[in-house]
Structure 1
Amino acid sequence: MFPPELVSEIEPGTNLLVSGPAMSGKRELLLQLLARGAPDDEGAIVVTSRNPGADVAEEFSSMIDDQDTFFRVIDCLGSESEFDFVHSVSSPGDLTGIGIEFSELAREANEREVDRIRIGFDSLSPLLMYVDLQRLFRFLHVFTSQIQSRDWLGLFAIDPDAHDEQVVNTISQLFDGMIEVRVADEGGREARIRGITSSPTEWVPLD
């Protein structure tokens, strides 16, 4: 999914912050990176705090061409869903509920012998409207540690324009690196990676 100019491989157990302004295509990029694991029998779990779980599931399904993949959604909007793979919590501020659901899905994946899973969190920004930074930091520390210990891959979206720079800097301490997304002056999306390469990559077109 990534152009080779950015990165050829990401180590298991890596957590990355996907940072970009509104309408920059962060969610699409995040879902594409999750879907990339499907041909290798990697599962995917999406935590959504912006869009209903059913909508996220439909978008993800269109990217994997009906492959039989372990896929689950944690819907933080309390949305009703007819799909049994969509698990709801009451609000983006229900960090305890999100953690419980994630632990249950990790247990289910283990029972189904799904060894590798890609986790997408879209997005951290709404959570900061419900909980303070210190509480979110503690929650993310546990969440990212679970991903690291299982050798999974974590991708967490955030809108830097919605928060003070200090907030983003504090949260970014929990992550191994960052994927920055922007809309180019001439149109189209560009991305670069910082933290998991020896130096930041150049901005590379995604479209």
Structure 2
Amino acid sequence: MLGDSPVSVDDLRSGQSLLVAGPPMTGKYQLLFQLLGAAADRGIVVTTGDPAEDVRREFVAAAGCDPEDVAVIDCVSKQRGADVTDDDVTRYVSSPKNVTEIGMKFTDVFERFREYDDQVGVGLHSLSELLVYLDPEDVYKFTRVLTTQAKSEGWITVATIGSTMHDEQTLHTMYEPFDTVIDTREHEGQRQLRVRDGRQPASQWSDF
């Protein structure tokens, strides 16, 4: 468990896919790394908002692993004009709207990491950025492929989405590829979460 929250690390070790959904400033980004760090020894993170070095630093701090154990598919640095080239643990994509390129780079790293015996955590921050450029159906198809690939190896997947940035139909489309949705909120100055997985009633809100 993470603190007193209803999120079980044991569940995360069995190929679970989770979507963290909440308004801005409710801890989605931090929770993503808490979950990945608690359940995984290595990581693959697709980032559409922060550069690779920042994402890698967050994962290493959460998981206590070495930087070379974290691969990042960086979809922002080239878009911002940075002069960057791929290396062993970083792949750069032209922009978040190029999901074909993201998928190719992810598969490249996936094939390498599946050779390890360690548990791998897959992160995606964030679906909302993809939805700025793409139709919900395209983002859904991409997310379905990514979560299916991870599940085939028994890896966990954790993604984030801004719940106040999209209409209800789009949100429900984005929920569908995931086993579990974790809602976040701020209540009386405290960040809270609840868990919904479709097989049982939503948990009570709890601090994290």
TM normalised by structure 2 equals: 0.87
Q: Which letter maps to 2:60?
A: S
8 A Cα contact 2:60 2:70, kept in partner: no
Q: Does 1:193 align with 2:195?
A: yes
Q: Could you report, residue by residue, the CA deviation over 1:141-178 in whole angstroms, capped at 9, with x for unpaired residues?
A: 21111112211101110001111111001111111110
- 1:66/1:173 CA distance change after superposition, 3 Å: closer
Q: Does 1:142 align with 2:141?
A: no
- Give matches, 1:172-191, under 5 Å: 172-184=175-187, 186-191=188-193
1:105 maps to which residue?
109
1:43 maps to which residue?
42
Question: Separation in 2 of the partners of 1:53 and 1:90?
Answer: 14
8 A Cα contact 2:57 2:67, kept in partner: no
2:2 maps to which residue?
2
8 A Cα contact 1:70 1:114, kept in partner: no
Runs of 4+ in 1 over 6 A off after TM superposition: none
8 A Cα contact 1:3 1:204, kept in partner: no
- 1:86/1:162 CA distance change after superposition, 3 Å: same
Q: Could you report, residue by residue, the CA deviation over 1:97-129 in whole angstroms, capped at 9, with x for unpaired residues?
A: 111111111111133x24421111000001011
8 A Cα contact 2:73 2:90, kept in partner: yes
Match of 1:22 among 8, 14, 24: 24
The sequence identity of aligned pairs, in percent, is 36
Question: Separation in 2 of the partners of 1:115 and 1:57?
Answer: 17
2:75 maps to which residue?
76
Matched residue SS, 2:164 = helix
Matched residue SS, 1:170 = helix
User: Which range moved further: 189-198 or 46-55?
Assistant: 189-198
What is the aligned residue count? 201
8 A Cα contact 1:43 1:114, kept in partner: no
8 A Cα contact 2:19 2:158, kept in partner: yes
Question: Separation in 2 of the partners of 1:36 and 1:7?
Answer: 11
1:92 maps to which residue?
96
8 A Cα contact 2:127 2:161, kept in partner: yes
Match of 1:151 among 147, 151, 154: 154
- 1:197/1:10 CA distance change after superposition, 3 Å: farther
8 A Cα contact 2:21 2:184, kept in partner: yes
Q: Does 1:59 align with 2:58?
A: yes
In the alignment, structure 1 segments of 5+ residues that lack a partner are none
Matched residue SS, 1:13 = coil
C-alpha deviation, 1:61, in angstroms:
2.4
Q: Which letter maps to 2:49?
A: R
TM normalised by structure 1 equals: 0.88
- 1:115/1:64 CA distance change after superposition, 3 Å: closer
